[in-house]
């Protein structure tokens, strides 16, 4: 565990996230890595190590750029790759803390009145 307050490396902050998200092969490679179904690239391995901590701490150790990247990725997966999103949450948020906190995946039930 890294010390609290120590930011994540910014080494990969300039990766073209939109290109990855819109390239089925690249996106699938990252997913397979994150789900432990294949070997990871250096970037994928780092992401895999960071995700659990970032989810638990609200990305407290993320740079502003990393927060933007995380938002972009989450929005894209929720909108276009729901299966990937669900798989990631099952693995990295098994107790549903992230989902509860951000009211994500509540099946859009607006009829609670």
Cβ count near 64 (within 10 Å): 8
Q: What is the pLDDT of residue 97?
A: 86
Residue 8 Cα distances to 12, 55, 103, angstroms: 10, 13, 26
Fold held by 17-101 = Antennal chemosensory protein a6 (1.10.2080)
Mean pLDDT of 56-71: 93
Domain layout of the chain by residue ranges: 17-101
Q: What is the pTM of this model?
A: 0.81
The predicted pLDDT at position 106 comes to 52
Percent over 90 (pLDDT), the chain = 72
> What pLDDT, on a 0 to 100 scale, did the predictor assign at position 77?
96
């Amino acid at each position: 565990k890294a010390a609290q307050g120590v930011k994540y490396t910014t080494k990969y902050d300039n990766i073209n996230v939109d290109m990855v998200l819109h390239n089925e092969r690249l996106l699938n490679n990252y997913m397979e890595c994150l789900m432990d179904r294949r070997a990871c690239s250096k970037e994928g391995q780092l992401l895999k190590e960071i995700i659990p901590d970032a989810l638990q701490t609200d990305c407290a150790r993320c740079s502003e750029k990393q927060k933007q990247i995380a938002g972009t990725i989450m929005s894209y997966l929720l909108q276009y790759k729901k299966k990937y999103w669900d798989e990631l949450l099952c693995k990295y948020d098994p107790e549903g803390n992230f989902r509860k906190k951000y009211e994500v995946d509540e099946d859009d039930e607006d009829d609670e009145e």
